[in-house]
Amino acid sequence: MSSMPPPVKHAMMIDFHAHVQPGADHGCTGSDMAQAQLTLARDAGMGALVAVSHYYPMRDDFADHLRRRERAASKLQAIAAADASLPRVFCGSEVTLCPGLDRLDGLENLCISRTNALLVEMPSGKWSTKLTDTLERIRYERGLDILLAHAERYDAADVEQLLMGGYPCQLNFDAFARMFGTRRLRTWAQKGWVHALGSDIHGVQVGYKHLPKAQKVLGRQLTEEIWMQSARLLGLEVKK
């Protein structure tokens, strides 16, 4: 939220998906909860955090969403100003993809602050050609850098088509705590398809308890490579 953040130390831990915008969606009820969530992030070792709120194009008013997000960003800025030990915060939206989203005026305003990165949630069910064509137009005609949110939730074959097509993804920490599927996620990371990890925190009950499992499954080298990719997505200078 500062205008000129200092260079990132090697492998700064970044939570790239956190619903901590006060009052912006169901993930955070207000400033007190946001303070508690940011404290959990700090205690887990996070140096930076992407604060998002849901944007559902088929039911949300675009201007109202941006106003809610701006109010939330101001509250987060006040919290950060009062406690320098908390993670650096970048605000954005988690945008549910729908056909025609590429035609939305002001789409770039949904990106993470000071970046060209758009966190996209794919809808449930089978993805139509019309839907994936919309994704292509957002990337090539609107010039935005798409990051697929919590890619572990989607059909593996479908999401791998997107990953192989050059769309990187974000994975939730809790995906690595499941009994099955973690080997596939590690393979995705080895192929360079995973550019971010996140808590997807809503409230304060779960917090970061699955972070150690994610680190264990990925191993130190892969985990650090992902943190560095996240830093680059946020436009942070990375120290070698």
Split at pLDDT 50, 70, 90, the class of 237 is: confident
Query: Each residue of 98-130: pLDDT tens digit?
Result: 999 999 999 999 999 999 999 999 999 999 999
In this structure, which CATH number among 3.40.50.1820, 3.20.20.140, 1.10.10.10, 3.30.1280.10 belongs to the domain 14-233? 3.20.20.140
Q: CA 132 to CA 71: how far, in whole Å? A: 32
Q: List Cβ neighbours of 228 (8 Å cut-off, separation of 6 or more).
A: 10, 11, 238
Amino acid sitting at position 6? P
Query: Each residue of 157-196: pLDDT tens digit?
Result: 999 999 999 999 999 999 999 988 999 999 999 999 999 9
Q: What is the 3-state secondary structure (H, E, C) of 149-184?
A: CCHHHCCHHHHHHHHHCCCCEEEEHHHHHCCCCHHH
**pTM, to two decimals:** 0.93
